[in-house]
Amino acid sequence: MKIMSVFGKLGRRMFSEKFVNNCKRTIFMTTLHLKLNRVEGATEQDLKDVNDSLGLVKDSSSLAFPATLGESLWKERDFSAAEKEIAKDNMPKACQKIMALTPRWMQYGVDPRQMERDIATVAKSTAGRRVMA
């Protein structure tokens, strides 16, 4: 019985960590995409565009809640330096600048490069749209 309870606790912990990381990732990528595209008050079409670009969820309407968190998450954070790097297609530098703007509590993943890859994915999906240097 003790073995089963240890595996049960371990399984719940692993599920919990994965769930939290997936939630943070969805919130982060959704709000970053909207921020870089200068979208405020995201519409259903905006959320569909985000999901079409990033493939985060099965139903884009489930991005409505994460989208509402964007204003407070990125409040008073200046993305102009990161946007310049995106415009120059300098993704490593853009990732570095965005990581510096990201609140520590919002960081996710065991591998720190996961967020860098996600930032590059979002940046590439926004390049040439509304991002301006």
Average pLDDT score over residue span 123-131: 69
8 pLDDT above the threshold of 70: no
Instruction: Tell me how far CA of residue 30 lies from CA of 9, 14, 67, 72, 125, in angstroms.
Output: 31, 24, 6, 13, 12
Predicted confidence (pLDDT) per residue in 52-85, tens digit: 999 999 999 999 999 999 988 998 899 999 999 9
pTM, to two decimals? 0.83
Q: Is 29 exposed, middle or buried (0-12, 13-18, 19+ CB in 10 A)?
A: buried
Residue 4: band (very low, low, confident or very high) from pLDDT cuts 50, 70, 90: very low
Which residues touch 51 (CB under 8 Å, ≥6 apart)?
57, 60, 63
Residues 11-29 have pLDDT tens digits of 556 557 778 888 999 999 9
